[in-house]
Structure 1
Amino acid sequence: MLKNSRFYSALVISALALTTPYANSSELVKVQADVWADNWFAMYIEEDMIAQDSVSIDTERSFNAETFQFATQLPVTVSFVIKDYKQDDTGLEYIGTDKQQMGDGGFIAQFVSVEHNKTLLVSNQAWRCFPVHIAPIDKRCEKSLTPQRDCKSDITPEPLGWKAPAFDDNGWPNAEEFSERKVKPKEGYKQIRWHSSAKLIWTTDLETDNTILCRATLTSGEI
């Protein structure tokens, strides 16, 4: 399903930012973000949700791009929860049909200073990303007639305080970069003019890593 890009009100987001610890300064920078995820994302600054995908994660086919603006003091840590669609904890989709399969994820983002039109941050292998829902553990169960019995999962609670700037993510692996040929991004992806340095990323396995957490630092410097 194609979803229209959604513009979040910069004024609303700025009002939120002004009440939060990361924006206790007159030096607020207005930033425009372009985000494409297969299938769903939510973006946070500390515990404040700045934006989320406008179509539910329960939508099987969802390839939209989202464009929104927010204001914040820089530098700041941006945190993402990113989910590929799965029907249940088997990690599969179209269960019980002849299309039963593992899905595959993909994510790309860029952040641009509205005032100066300079790119401040793009998704690439420098991001730290950690999978918290992995399924199926054994890919051979993909076509099982009883996947709820045969497909096992590895589910990890979100680490306490992982959205905080001081959180130590050195134990998280760097994101993996993937080609367009591998991810096969569709629809909304093609509506955005991506910076040449912006990369499609995920954790190690596009198929079995169903929910991932990612962190990056947004600074005032141009990439």
Structure 2
Amino acid sequence: MRTLLTAALILAAAPAFADSHAKDEHAAKPKAGPQSGTRLKAEIWVDNWFEMYVNGEKAMQDSVPITTERSFNSETAIIETQFPVTIAIKAKDFKENDTGLEYIGTDRQQMGDGGMIAQFRDARTGEVIGVTNRDMHCLVVQHAPVEASCADESDPQAGEGACDFEETTVDGDWTAPDFDDSAWPAAIEHQYSDVSPKDGYDDIDWDDSARFVWGQSLKQDNTLLCRMTLDG
């Protein structure tokens, strides 16, 4: 696990995104194109790092590198797009290697723990259009270690014994609107108290319907691909 400050995002081509502290009316006007028409306010918090795609185009990325000590932070952006909107998020918890551990070789050696929460609003009206919850699909693509006892080993080796790991590959463009995620499992909702620490979480006024999601294990599920559709 790792945390820092909310940082600015720069407005880019479609879909575009804006400085997390910029007021909506001051955001740069988007270029005309097939993605124009809707101003979406995206607010997201991930332990530790994420990148997000909107209708197959990269729209946001965590501004704090995952290798930063305690890199917990929220991000906000204004995105120009059109409905229906396909949101695709790669979320990662920090791990030093494929053992899934952090602080390896120190008295702090441990499994990290992840977590994600996001909400999407109409940037003009403030109306909540979508939130993270069990209705979205999340596929765990890196799970480690396979046994928690790996964290107690004096010389943990990725791929050996309790420190083995599981990886899943995905065929095709998983960020594309027409990608078939029907076989992916539903996201697992987690209690507020189970996700900790949450530095940066309070920088956003979360809607009551938004839920923390992850895989089944906050500690052993290290990289997830998640998808949801906003219909407006």
Normalised by the size of structure 1, how large is the TM-score? 0.89
Matches within 5 A, 1:42-191: 42-148=51-157, 149-150=160-161, 151-191=163-203
Whole-Å Cα distance in 1 between the matches of residues 66 and 29 of structure 2? Answer: 25
The CA deviation string for residues 82-117 of structure 1, in whole angstroms up to 9 with x for no partner, is: 000001111000000001000000000001111121
Tell me if the contact between 1:18 and 1:24 (Cα under 8 Å) persists in the aligned partners: no
> Residue 193 of structure 1: CA displacement?
0.6
The CA deviation string for residues 119-169 of structure 1, in whole angstroms up to 9 with x for no partner, is: 101110101000001100111111111111441111122332211222221
| Runs of 4+ in structure 1 over 2 Å off | 4-12, 14-19
Whole-Å Cα distance in 1 between the matches of residues 129 and 174 of structure 2? Answer: 22
160-169 vs 195-204, which moves further:
160-169
Normalised by the size of structure 2, how large is the TM-score? 0.86
Whole-Å Cα distance in 2 between the matches of residues 139 and 192 of structure 1? Answer: 33
Q: Quick check: 1:200 aligned with 2:212?
A: yes
193-202 vs 167-176, which moves further:
167-176
Whole-Å Cα distance in 1 between the matches of residues 30 and 83 of structure 2? Answer: 12
Tell me if the contact between 1:17 and 1:72 (Cα under 8 Å) persists in the aligned partners: no
Whole-Å Cα distance in 2 between the matches of residues 181 and 25 of structure 1? Answer: 38
> Residue 18 of structure 1: CA displacement?
5.3
* Percentage of matched positions with identical amino acids: 44
Tell me if the contact between 2:136 and 2:186 (Cα under 8 Å) persists in the aligned partners: yes
> Residue 10 of structure 1: CA displacement?
7.4
Whole-Å Cα distance in 2 between the matches of residues 24 and 184 of structure 1? Answer: 40
Whole-Å Cα distance in 1 between the matches of residues 69 and 172 of structure 2? Answer: 30
The CA deviation string for residues 59-85 of structure 1, in whole angstroms up to 9 with x for no partner, is: 241110001111101011110000000
- SS in structure 2 opposite 1:190? helix
Q: Which amino acid aligns with 2:34?
A: N
Alignment length (residue pairs): 216
78-87 vs 180-189, which moves further:
180-189
Of 27, 38, 41, which aligns to 1:29? 38
Name whichever structure is richer in helix by fraction. 1
Q: Which runs of 5+ in 1 are unaligned?
A: none
Of 35, 39, 45, which aligns to 2:48? 39
Supply the RMSD in Å over aligned alpha carbons.
Answer: 2.2
Q: Which amino acid aligns with 1:64?
A: N
- SS in structure 1 opposite 2:138? strand
Q: Which amino acid aligns with 1:70?
A: I
Tell me if the contact between 1:8 and 1:69 (Cα under 8 Å) persists in the aligned partners: no
Change (3 A) 1:18 1:131: farther
Q: Quick check: 1:211 aligned with 2:226?
A: no
Whole-Å Cα distance in 2 between the matches of residues 103 and 4 of structure 1? Answer: 21
Q: Which amino acid aligns with 2:125?
A: H
- SS in structure 1 opposite 2:152? coil
Tell me if the contact between 2:13 and 2:30 (Cα under 8 Å) persists in the aligned partners: no
Tell me if the contact between 1:112 and 1:121 (Cα under 8 Å) persists in the aligned partners: yes
